[in-house]
Structure 1
Amino acid sequence: MKQASAGIKELKTKEGGEKICDFELDSCGWTQDKTDDFDWTRKKGTTGSANTGPSFDHTLGTTAGYYYYTEVSSPITQGDKARLISPTYSPSSTGECLQFWYHMYGDRMGTINVYARQNGNLGNVLWTESLDQGNVWRFGQVTMQSNIGFEAVFESLRGNGIRGDMAIDDISMIMGACPSVGYCDFESDKCGWQNEASDDDFDWMRSAGGTPSSYTGPSTDHTTATDQGFYLFIESSVGVKGNKAWLVSAHLPPTSGSCFSFWYHMYGQGVGDLNVYMKDSKTNQYIPKLSRSGNKGNVWYQATIGLITADEYQIVIEGKHGGNFTADIAIDDTNIAQGSVCTVDITTPATVPTAMPTQPSGPNDCNFENGNICAWRQDGTDDFDWRVQQGRTGSDNTGPTADHTKGNKNGYYIYLEASGKTVNEKARLISDGLTATARFTCLRFWYHMYGRHIGTLNVYANSNLNKLGQVLWTRQGEQNYDWTFGQLLVNDTANTFYIVFEGVRGDDFMGDISLDDLQVSDGECPPRTFCDFQEDDICGYTQDKTDDFDWSRGSGRTLTIQTGPRVDHTYGTSEEFLGNKDL
């Protein structure tokens, strides 16, 4: 749900005009160039041509809101230009950031150019976009520097047909150079983030100091740690439980590996959910990337999310109403580090496992980068086989988008394809024969179980392949959108034994299970620098034999009412594990 909101500190121009304009009342001092071929037009609703131009403005998101556009129907011809010129801005040697929203929809679309005009001279193009960009408003920004007074100029260059109406709206000039795309501290505005126009129930709001409700929300922002700094939040004194507010980023380019980070605040009785999705602009699929639930205390926390996609995308931050007026959720200081690998989450290190320690390579170590399964083999007595794969699997809404080794679509992994199979059919992968030279053998691997119909992944170790024996490690149902680290300590005294991965098909096609970076080594597993207590071996931690009682590994509530957690911290669910002591 979208509400009109300026929220930008107003800066005066040299001639006294405005540095913010939504065109709702007038042109705000922007004028037509007298030396071009045709004019920009202030308009509301649709333009005069079908299948081109916006249907509503950006400010209000309705047919009552105004924007400026160029009508390219006859007598306008290909190559004709229309320029809209700002009031004169004062010199800025350090730079100011021109931010705006533009709309370029139509299969005969031309080009928008942006200039900083000095003494009547347009100079070089500072920003440009061409061709059909879809029937959506998009965010643009460009830094303008000048040692003398200057004007910002929007130039529309007509394409080769009438379906080429282009539009601009919500123009602002912000002090300082433009931030990187995805960065925002919310001190001046929302930096291209915007509230969803129609598909949610209420909005994120920009505020400083405390929220309107007591005993919830932050009292300071994260950026400045003062009550003068700004952040975004959802106000829970309005709405009902389950209502959602969506904050949507600008359109972002494909990435082979980037890190999205932000700070969040979830304090108060009855706090709901904070979810983050990556929206694929090509398929409109919402891919879950992170979820946090419940009261986290009156503290700002950081979260980091790895991003890999071959398509343009947007980030969607969802705040869900918890059903109580003391359930405000806030965010601050978003950033996208292009080409960077996320470091460990400051608040949840267990969700980002560290790389496996370097070990001598063995015949059962396999990252599948040679396009085969190394010394492993398919079980000839099961129902179907594991496949070597690059990029996405064959089904939507399940499976990884990249391998774990390289973290991109060029890397290889193996997976079981759930399409065309039936419930409980099995695919097994068998190691080369193992002869333990030490008491233990350590198996380490990465697994991916994302999809609403995920079945089961089991691991066995046995000398007799005709009788698999007891399951030594298992996961069932959807686990995570990202790759997850798994580890198993095998104690098998047989002369020769085998490790078996078994994937069991779930109840429908969105159930692809994947494996990557298998490693088998003699001896105990190396100690981990983190522990989320999801594994039975509790990461090598042991009970002290000289104390009075023991810690217990549990999930869900503890045995005593009105004390202890209801969910673990790693996944925020009652199905996962945590360490506790029951007094």
Structure 2
Amino acid sequence: MAEDSYFCRYVGLLLGIVLLLNTCADGFLLDGKPPRRYVCNFEHTTCGYNNSVPAHGMEWSRLNVALGHTFLHSDDTYHTHRKGYVMFANGNASTHAGDRVRLQSKPMSFPQGTPLAISFAYIFSEAHTNAVTLSVYIGTHSTRARWITSGHSPSHGTVSPYWHRGCITTTAHDNATVVIFEAKISHSSNNGDLAIDDVMVEEGNVCHHSSQMFTTSPFHMTSSHHVTSTAPPRTNASSVSCNFDLPDICGYHNRQYPGSDNFDWLRHQMKTLSQGTGPNMDHTSGKGYYMYIETSSPRHSGEIARIESPAFTADGHQRLTFWYNAYGTGIGDLKVYLETKGVLGSPVFVESKGTQSSVWQRACVQITKASSDVKVVFEGVVGRDYHGDIAIDDVKLEHGDCQSGVQTTVPTVTLNIVLGHWLSWGSWSSCSSTCGHSTKQRTRKCSSNTCDGGNIQILQCHTSACATNGGWSHWTTWSKCSTSCDIGTISRVRSCTNPAPTSGGAQCVGNRTDTHECSTGPCPTWSHWYDGQCSSSCGNGTMERMRTCSTGTSSDCSGSAQEIIPCTGTECI
């Protein structure tokens, strides 16, 4: 920490940069005034990024590209051969499918509710067996990846061996934002190389690459790329049109308020991470990006993800076209809503059957009623298993009708919002399980096409904890032998506490105590008595006699080694 602080002061004096730093290891806070940015290019420190959740022999490490790693030829900051530093993670012979390691930032201070843009550079090795996946999480307790990509595409080989850009837009939920980069071995091949560089967390809704902040020095800040703290409102219809190739995704954003959905749409390039589902490439060019829902674990059937467009004004003579991909045997639903003045309404498009090929399909929705404050909301619903990835691309809002150009079978919709009333709730379903975490739900129907509010209620069941069978602890060490000589016993014990049986679980099977014979050798014994001479040659007298202990030490045997006894000599004359 002392060296980092000295370095920051030195750079500030040398370049004349005003740096406001909580601590140097917390990352470089460029400019104390809005927009606030935390930038790290790893050239001199890790800026407080540390390993957490280590895997078998796998960790994030700060790597000097000049050392000549087999696949890294330059970092992202300089783009100069054999120059610069990056954060590097790789799989090896000791890692297995599912192993993961996380690189976690220190908390960054942004006021709660501040829109944030997180940008970074990443690169995978060219190896065909590259099996590592990069995921990004926001918050130390988050189980929901906000961004994910893989270093290997089964259908198209490998990603290109060049630096790529990642972008996430979100909102600060507290005053201590934490960003986590996770490298995970994704399948049976344990090979995989991955590096990240030039991480920037800044206020605003638009990602900028951190190299825009630097010129000849990695810490020289320019003022030509300031980002406003809030995105300007998008009210023109053309703002809805988007091919998702740019990181700001045209102002579309995942819904963030509580209860709106369960997970997020992801921006992705080429094949999705699961076999047998999702597109092979984007629709626009085959090389660009699209938005999709990833339905692999930890997703569950019925969970939803919603992404919405910027607001626009409908003039009654427009059509909304988009391309979608619903390929897979476990497809759920793709629904499209035209939310008006905050009322979601009923879906104007539903795809629930899926398709038998990964070819993109075109859809069109006619808008025949004028209205202001309209948003397009795409909703993806998780199906019965992980073969349920749903994707969208090339959304376009334009004047015209759906009957011109390519014919479609999708419905025409009129934006004429007339709120109905909800009918009575149906009966509660059975609990999803008989013990542990369990939920039940009920539904209701609307008297017309549109009602304000939701049609599903989900409650947690008050089920008892699941039974846990008992398990033995480790044995204690052996006791001392019960005797100091001859045959005795030693014992050891264990307890049914690993785990202890709960909620009616079975007790441990087997003995709690283990006993064996022990011996430290035979006990000491006396020899026979050796008599001395009688004190009187005639008549009565006394005699001293003695004996020896078998150990050679009299004190080892019980009793005396000598004694005096009466004796009788010959009869005196």
Structure 2 length-normalised TM:
0.36
Q: Which has the higher contact order (CA 8 A, sep 6+)?
A: 1
Q: Which has the higher Rg, Structure 1 or Structure 2?
A: 2
